[in-house]
Amino acid sequence: VTYPEQDSPSFRQLLKSGLAVAVNPGGALKTQLQSYPASWAMAVSGSAFLLIFLQSGLDLHRTGQAEAVQALGWGLVGLGFGTVGVGLLATIAWLLAHPFGRNKPWGWALRAFSLAYSPALIYGILGLAANLVLGWNTAVAFGVTGFIWAIGPMLTAAQEMTEDHTGASYLIGTTCGSLMLVGWGVMVS
């Protein structure tokens, strides 16, 4: 799906393209990313981490370790982590990929890394529903699963940025995944 004659693609098209990254990252990153608005892409990762961190706050609130306002504060921290943190991650990946391939601009890396968290957004929504409806402690279970399913699209994005240099792309993907894993692990623990 490309948007040659439309300045602003419809919400349905944006949703479809965002979900395509979760289902078929290789195809989606090659064909659908060029015209995807960066703000929408960052909204995906921002919302994903907002929901996951909000669940951390709700889990703590349920066990009496945090007030309701603090739980909402956790959500805001997640929003920052999913926008500023993922933006920083995309910048690191773009810089590391630079010696191997220079065909992708920084904006492309930002959109690709942000949309890589569309599986995390799906798990974030499911986790919040389970948290509120069933009263489960969901932050770690759903958050970790969502994070893990973002690794694949991140590796695919790194492969595109390094022009199919497998070793470099796996190194970049592992580095970025480790930074995200440790950053998030330290914050929620």
Partner 1 sequence: VRGRLLILFCFGALGVLTGYSSLENSQGLLVLCFVTGCLFGVGCLLLTSLPLHLFFRGVVSKNGAGAIGDCLNTGFLALVPFTLLAFLAELLLNWNATSAFASAGLMFCGGVTAGALAKADPGHPQGMLRALVPTLAAALASFCWLAMWAVFIPLLGRVAGA
185 sits near partner 1 (criterion: CB under 8 A): yes
Helices 38-62 and 106-115: angle between axes, nearest 10 degrees: 40
Integer Cα distance of 51 and 131 in angstroms = 11
Residue 129 or 151 with smaller CB distance to partner 1:
151
For partner 1, the binding residue among 19, 125, 140, 187 (CB under 8 A) is 140
Residue 77 or 158 with smaller CB distance to partner 1:
158
Least CB distance to partner 1 at residue 177 (A):
5
Least CB distance to partner 1 at residue 170 (A):
5
Q: Are 28 and 20 in contact (CB under 8 A)?
A: yes
For partner 1, the binding residue among 92, 126, 130, 148 (CB under 8 A) is 148
25 sits near partner 1 (criterion: CB under 8 A): yes
Ranges of H-type helices in 65-165: 68-80, 86-97, 106-115, 118-129, 139-161
Phi-psi region of 135 (alpha: psi -120 to 50; beta: other; left: phi over 0): left
Residue 2 or 24 with smaller CB distance to partner 1:
24
Least CB distance to partner 1 at residue 13 (A):
22
**CA nearest to 150, candidates 77, 108, 89:** 89
73: Cβ contacts below 8 Å, ≥ 6 apart: 57
Residue 43 or 172 with smaller CB distance to partner 1:
172
Binding site for partner 1 (CB under 8 A): 24-26, 140, 144-145, 148-149, 151-152, 155, 166, 170, 173-174, 177-178, 181-182, 185, 189
